[in-house]
């Protein structure tokens, strides 16, 4: 049997419903209460830095990046990163993340933060934020607050509260 190829594509407006259903299956209704979801609601994700994974035409995964600030410094919040359960453990999550980070770097972004498990996200260059250096605007396990530098040394000297970068207008 031939396997259909995986493609990583920029998110399109028509993907929104399928991505929302993927979140519903993955995170359930409790997702709206999560601190990271609330930040994303405030800012809205950047479609040009959000990607879908497809096998054939089927959408099997999604990653989004949202503009934030840490103190006064601009950064991005990564997530949700989600892969349909039957398609997990094939490298799709990592491929989505690497594509989003590469595109963000290419566009001149320097810092990406997320809330997640360090053993997984370390594969894409994330490490724990020293306690107190940056704070989410709601309850988050400090061990799960991670950062990746897209430019060497970009996180040095950066500190403060994390908040959504509100859209202009
Ligand atoms: C996390 C997630 C996106 C990974 O997608 P994926 O396509 O399976 O990821 P990959 O194939 O790139 O990597 C899979 C590997 O990561 C490991 N892994 C997955 N989640 C992990 C976690 N939370 N902690 C440590 N390791 C983890 C798997 O065990 C697997 O290990 P292996 O390579 O030794 O087999 C997917 O499991 C998912 O959608 N989970 C639910 C949503 C979620 O928790 N998202 C993150 C928070 S927003």
Which residue from 58, 61, 60 is spatially nearest to 50, judged by alpha carbons? 61
Residues 137-159 pLDDT 10s: 999 999 999 999 999 999 999 99
DSSP sequence for 27-78: H-GGGGGSHHHHHHHHH---GGG-EEEEETTEEEEEEEEEEEEETTEEEEEE
Q: Is the pLDDT of residue 42 over 70?
A: yes
35 lines ligand 1 (CB under 6 A): no
Mean pLDDT, the chain, as a whole number?
A: 94
CA–centroid distance, residue 72 to ligand 1 (Å): 32
Judge if the beta carbon of residue 91 lies within 6 A of ligand 1: yes
Mutate which of 36, 59, 80, 120 to test ligand 1's pocket (most atoms within 8 Å of Cβ)?
A: 120
pLDDT digits (tens, 9 = 90+) for 93-143: 999 999 999 999 999 999 999 999 999 999 999 999 999 999 999 999 999
Rounded to 5°, angle at Cα 40 from 35 and 46: 155
pTM reported for the whole predicted model: 0.94
Question: Is 92 close to ligand 1, i.e. is its CB under 6 Å away?
Answer: yes
Quote the CA–CA distance of 109 and 4 in Å, as a whole number: 33
Query: Does ligand 1 lie within 6 Å of residue 79's CB atom?
Result: yes
Question: If you search the block for the tokens 């419903």, which residue do you land on?
Answer: 17
Report the percent of the chain where pLDDT is more than 70. Answer: 97
Cα 124 to ligand 1 centre (Å): 12
Q: In this structure, are residues 78 and 114 in contact, taking their beta carbons and an 8 Å threshold? A: yes
CA–centroid distance, 21 to ligand 1, in Å, is 19
- Tokens 């989600």, residue located: 82
Q: Which of 88, 119, 141 to mutate to test the pocket of ligand 1 (most atoms within 8 A of CB)?
A: 88
């Amino acid at each position: 049997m031939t396997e259909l190829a995986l493609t990583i594509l920029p998110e399109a407006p028509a993907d929104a419903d399928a991505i929302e259903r993927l979140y519903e299956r993955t995170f359930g209704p409790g997702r709206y209460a999560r601190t990271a979801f609330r930040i994303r609601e405030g800012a809205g994700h950047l479609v040009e830095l959000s990607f879908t994974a497809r096998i054939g035409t089927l959408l099997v995964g999604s990653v989004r990046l949202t503009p934030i600030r840490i103190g006064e410094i601009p950064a991005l919040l990564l997530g949700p990163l989600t892969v349909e359960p039957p398609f997990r453990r094939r490298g799709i999550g990592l491929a989505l993340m690497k594509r989003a980070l590469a595109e963000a770097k290419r566009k001149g972004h320097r810092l990406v933060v997320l809330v997640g498990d360090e053993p997984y996200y370390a594969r894409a260059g994330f490490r724990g934020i020293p306690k107190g250096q940056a704070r989410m605007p709601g309850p988050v396990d400090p061990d799960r607050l991670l950062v990746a530098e897209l430019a060497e040394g970009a996180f040095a000297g950066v500190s403060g509260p994390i908040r959504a970068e509100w859209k202009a207008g």
